[in-house]
Structure 1
Amino acid sequence: MRRLIPLAGVVLLALACSAVSTIGPGSSPTATPVVIVAAPTPLPPEVLQAADAEEQIVINVYERVSPSVVHITSRTQVFDFFRGPVPREGTGSGFVLDTQGRIVTNYHVIADAEEVEVVLADGTAAAARVIGADAYYDLAVLQIDVDPSHLRPVELGSSSDLRVGQRVIAIGNPFGLDRTLTTGVISALGRTIERESGPALGEAIQTDAAINPGNSGGPLLDSRGRVIGINTAIQSPTGASVGIGFAVPVDIIKRVVPELIARGRYPHPTLGFDAYELTYEVRPNPDGPQKGLWVVRVAPGGPADRAGLQAAALRRDVRGRLIIVGGDIVTAIDGRPIATRDDLTLYLEAHKRVGDQVQLTVVRGSETLTLTATLAERG
């Protein structure tokens, strides 16, 4: 372990060249060594007061909110060819939503877990059950049964009025280190998180507050200690924080979590069709749209089917290459151009709900049509 040595000051000593100096007739006395002490210029009192106030804000937020942050351990078993079933544990963070024992965390913290344990700030441990989860928004709600006196709910803020540069505070359990605080600012808003599997997640908050493995599910707070997001992901070549972290905004939490509590799931809107992305996945016809979604399957009885959307026929030529014949190309929704499946998903998730109507701009051969569809719940 490296030792950290504090540097109290800098002392420069003018040392005599010889160990002993003799004063004799005709000789000059040895000059008295000069000691120079470098002292920092005192800061004005108002600067110190401002610094103290900044620190006190963070201290107060931590003292008020850290009792609301919980440590979550998920346990499962994996099969090893030589050793058979092997227990595996994962850890994450979460926060107390209410005095009824509901805990909010990330879906990936508890995904596939056979057992989930929650440890509160006062050391109280309780078995938890999952009462609702949503993989798309990476949110889950747990239920624990403890005396309400052990529970300190958080205060939910708003993410609609956030601004880049605003101070943020993250509290979580990185690498199992309980209730660790880190600070930073909002680096950007409205980010899209690309994922290895599944559609992209939009509207994310980007922050440079250190987010590491184990922080997942912990709260991202404003200077008043209100939750403005839930820490979800990082972008890193090393797997540890490099100053690019992402949080799901609290306005999404306030929309999704009540559905998870009431129904166990969140109803995502869908149009009910599959498509290839022009230019990115298939080569467009030179005289047709260059970007859009080329419909290749329409779910029978779904919104797109009822709206009259037509799917293309898929064939293979003699060389086995896929040929798309006919079919509609969706180029815009509610007047907003779309080029990818993620464009469509992000628009529906951010602006529409199940039962809402949308206007689809469709190219069919040489015609451009407008179709009206009523969104259904994604299965």
Structure 2
Amino acid sequence: MIRPRSTIISIVFILMLSACNFSPSFLSSLSANDPPAEETELSQTTEAAPVEEKEEELSEIQVSTAAVIPTLAPEPTPLSDALIAEADAEELLLTNIYERVNPSVVNILVTVEGQDTGSFPNNLFPNQGQGSGFVYDTEGHIVTNNHVVQDAERVDVTFADGATIQAEVVGTDTDSDLAVLLVNAPGESLRPVKWGDSDSIKVGQRAIAIGNPFGLDGTLTSGIISALGRSLPTENGTFRIPEIIQTDAAINPGNSGGPLLNSQGEVIGVNTAIVPRQDRFGGERSFLGVGFAVPANLVKRVIPGLIKDGQYEHPWIGFSGNSVTPEIAEAMDLPKASGALVVEVLSGSPADEAGLRSGTREIVFDNGLDTTIGGDVIIAIEDEEILNFDDLISFLSRRGSVGDVITLTIIRDGKEQQVELTLGPRPHTTEEVE
């Protein structure tokens, strides 16, 4: 039999072991009160266990204890002074641009007869009754998108200082999606923007948009120039707007007509369209990271005509065509797959008067697409090489004017030759084109 003092010591030892999280079977063998002689002998045998077994038990205690000690998180590495300075410079740049340019940006509210919101048939352009614009000059002219004010019964312009003034639409151009408004505003509200050169921008450069997405006036977003040389269809789909700038700066419904800026705060484009995200229930369109802007250099060509005459005369050659693909080049035995193929010359057009030839035979490709081949292939205009049909449109928008005489280098019947052509005014309706 174990003496009372031994019992007390055993109980204390059991409590100590309990705190160390021993296994239940081991604890039960130590917790019996006044056990039979056989169990006592077992207990005494246990007390006489080899040293190795006790060391193993001690190891178990140590492991169990270590498991409840929390692991301290590593101390974060402080940012370098250079990184902090770079972040501060970024903040300073954006805040400075915002403070300088935002007073030039306006919110445009449009009322259309019979409804509160305007509409635009092309799904690239969000339906909206409001948009953005910016001050063009001190005479009160405001630049915006044509689709923002199209068919407007009333247009109200709200400046950054909160002043709201009714505006007059003085000029529109569907082929560039641009429009000009006129407001009778006090001089202090008219702070014209500064213009940049859209021909000099590069992919990867900073792009900053200021506008009124969803009616949230004075909103700044920033990103980069994602791509250059895109083109967008015009309202009637007959022509295309060339040299479009693609950006990932967030542009949403309400941003249309607002400025796209470079790091100097200069306007390099007019935000005009997005590739929209739309839920399956037909909900509000929103930004997907792909926005488009009409290039500043085209805007600077178009706006004076809208102010003076209410319209802009785009230069026109007068034929439908395609870019020369490898399949077309092979079918026509051309030296390389580049150039603008003349498919159909429109009767009475500058191309018709210059003697350009239409295609002569239909061809169907393996992918099921068909076209007319055999017509003239334009490979250069003046000193510019024409690699595709978009290059031809780009030349006209950048360098062409109605009445200009230009020299086309063409391939006809396998031979290279030159043709002179006088640019005419682009028709304003699809009926005129047809």
The partner residue of 1:47 within 76, 83, 91 is 83
Which residue number in structure 2 is paired with residue 157 of structure 1? 196
The partner residue of 1:257 within 303, 309, 321 is 303
Which residue number in structure 2 is paired with residue 375 of structure 1? 423
**Superposition TM-score, scaled by structure 1 size:** 0.76
Which residue number in structure 2 is paired with residue 100 of structure 1? 139
1:31-46 counterparts in 2 under 5 A?
36=72, 39-46=75-82
Deviations 1:328-371 (A, max 9, x none): 6454452845765x554333223322222223456777887643
- Once the two structures are TM-superposed, the CA of residue 201 in structure 1 deviates from its matched residue by 1.6
1:9-88 counterparts in 2 under 5 A?
27=16, 36=72, 39-77=75-113, 85-88=114-117
- Once the two structures are TM-superposed, the CA of residue 288 in structure 1 deviates from its matched residue by 7.7
Distance 1:254 1:211 in 2: 22
Distance 1:51 1:311 in 2: 58
Distance 1:331 1:162 in 2: 27
Which residue number in structure 2 is paired with residue 295 of structure 1? 344
SS in 2 for 1:256: helix
Distance 1:327 1:48 in 2: 63
Which residue number in structure 2 is paired with residue 347 of structure 1? 395
- Once the two structures are TM-superposed, the CA of residue 211 in structure 1 deviates from its matched residue by 0.8
Distance 2:193 2:386 in 1: 40
C-alpha RMSD of matched pairs (Å): 3.7
SS in 1 for 2:297: helix
The partner residue of 2:286 within 237, 240, 247 is 240
1:108-257 counterparts in 2 under 5 A?
108-194=147-233, 197-238=237-278, 239-257=285-303
Q: Quick check: which one's helix share is greater?
A: 2
Q: Is the 8 A contact 2:105 2:159 kept in 1?
A: yes
Q: Quick check: which one's strand share is greater?
A: 1
SS in 2 for 1:295: strand
Which residue number in structure 2 is paired with residue 21 of structure 1? none
Distance 2:342 2:223 in 1: 40
Distance 1:357 1:168 in 2: 37
Identical counterparts, % of pairs: 44
Which residue number in structure 1 is paired with residue 32 of structure 2? none
Q: Is the 8 A contact 1:269 1:376 kept in 2?
A: yes
Shift in CA distance, 49/288, structure 1 to aligned 2, threshold 3 Å: closer
SS in 2 for 1:244: strand
Amino acid at match of 2:354: A
Distance 2:232 2:351 in 1: 27
2:322 is equivalent to residue 269 of structure 1? no
Which residue number in structure 1 is paired with residue 353 of structure 2? 306
Shift in CA distance, 276/198, structure 1 to aligned 2, threshold 3 Å: closer
SS in 2 for 1:214: coil
SS in 1 for 2:176: coil
Amino acid at match of 2:350: P
Shift in CA distance, 99/188, structure 1 to aligned 2, threshold 3 Å: same
- Once the two structures are TM-superposed, the CA of residue 237 in structure 1 deviates from its matched residue by 4.3
Shift in CA distance, 87/62, structure 1 to aligned 2, threshold 3 Å: closer
Amino acid at match of 2:271: N
Q: Is the 8 A contact 1:199 1:345 kept in 2?
A: no
Q: Is the 8 A contact 2:346 2:352 kept in 1?
A: no
Question: Higher mean Cα deviation, 101-110 or 221-230?
Answer: 221-230
Shift in CA distance, 362/35, structure 1 to aligned 2, threshold 3 Å: closer
SS in 2 for 1:53: helix
SS in 2 for 1:348: helix
Shift in CA distance, 307/227, structure 1 to aligned 2, threshold 3 Å: same
**Superposition TM-score, scaled by structure 2 size:** 0.67
Deviations 1:129-153 (A, max 9, x none): 1112211111111100111122222
Distance 1:96 1:112 in 2: 22
Shift in CA distance, 42/62, structure 1 to aligned 2, threshold 3 Å: same
Q: Is the 8 A contact 1:297 1:311 kept in 2?
A: no
Question: Higher mean Cα deviation, 38-47 or 125-134?
Answer: 38-47
2:404 is equivalent to residue 356 of structure 1? yes
SS in 1 for 2:117: strand
SS in 1 for 2:288: coil
SS in 2 for 1:188: strand
Structure 2 gap ranges (5+)? 1-11, 21-64, 119-128, 279-284, 362-371, 428-434
Which residue number in structure 1 is paired with residue 51 of structure 2? none
Deviations 1:154-202 (A, max 9, x none): 2222223212211121111111111111111111222223457232222
- Once the two structures are TM-superposed, the CA of residue 235 in structure 1 deviates from its matched residue by 2.2
SS in 1 for 2:86: helix
- Once the two structures are TM-superposed, the CA of residue 102 in structure 1 deviates from its matched residue by 1.0
Distance 2:214 2:96 in 1: 24
Structure 1 gap ranges (5+)? 1-23, 78-84, 315-323
- Once the two structures are TM-superposed, the CA of residue 76 in structure 1 deviates from its matched residue by 0.9
Q: Is the 8 A contact 2:298 2:397 kept in 1?
A: no
Q: Is the 8 A contact 2:359 2:374 kept in 1?
A: yes
